[in-house]
Amino acid sequence: MPTVWLTFVSAMNDERSKELARTAFSAYLKSRKLRHTTERDIVLEKVLEMPDNFSINSLHASLVQADRVSLATVYNTMQLLAGAGIVRRHKFEGTVSHYERVSSANEISYLHLVCTECGKIKVTKDAEISRAINSRRYPTFHTAYFSLCIYGVCSRCARRLKKK
Ligand SMILES: [Zn+2]
């Protein structure tokens, strides 16, 4: 399986969105009568430091070095964070899952340009497509956000394939 490298557009690092995420997580754990453990807090704090888009491998790698949090705990906590609406999980064809931090202040939807050769994902925004999708109304359905994947070959792989 190819390593997934993610390019992020902008990091939402401001204190206000961090506080909102902490409050949302506490409320979520409480509502489900789940324990608010130190390990879960460590994972949340690391997620808040990550770029907007990241893979679970890169998250775990930084946690293993600093805090020795197990992979099982990372997976478990990421599910809780997704349940609490703090992150979104994306699974692209032929790649590992990756997560996107939800910016509560201004909901942004992304396009994901997925290279079918190396698995690299470039995250980008397209105002025109966002406007078009956000203005669509579907019967008996309320749109919250969208995730759009465009599959193709990145310029590096295109050059490599040309040389063969
Ligand atoms: Zn590629």
Q: What pLDDT score does 77 carry? A: 92
Mean pLDDT, the chain, integer: 77
The architecture (CATH level 2) of 6-163 comes to: Orthogonal Bundle (1.10)
133-151: pLDDT as tens digits: 878 888 988 776 666 788 8
Report domain extents, the chain.
6-163
Cα–Cα distances (Å) from 143 to 99, 105, 109, 110, in that order, read: 20, 17, 11, 14
CA within 13 Å, CB half, 109:
16
**Residue 4 CA, ligand 1 centroid: distance in Å:** 10
Q: What pLDDT score does 13 carry? A: 47
92-113: pLDDT as tens digits: 666 667 777 765 433 446 677 8
Confidence of residue 44 (pLDDT cuts 50, 70, 90): very high
57-90: pLDDT as tens digits: 888 888 876 677 888 888 899 888 887 778 877 7
**Residue 123 CA, ligand 1 centroid: distance in Å:** 14
Which is more confident, 161 or 88? 161
**Residue 163 CA, ligand 1 centroid: distance in Å:** 14
**Residue 55 CA, ligand 1 centroid: distance in Å:** 17
**Residue 91 CA, ligand 1 centroid: distance in Å:** 17
What is the model's pTM?
Answer: 0.56
The answer to whether 58 touches 67, Cβ cutoff 8 Å, is no
Q: What pLDDT score does 159 carry? A: 95
Q: Write down how long the chain is.
A: 164
Confidence of residue 41 (pLDDT cuts 50, 70, 90): very high
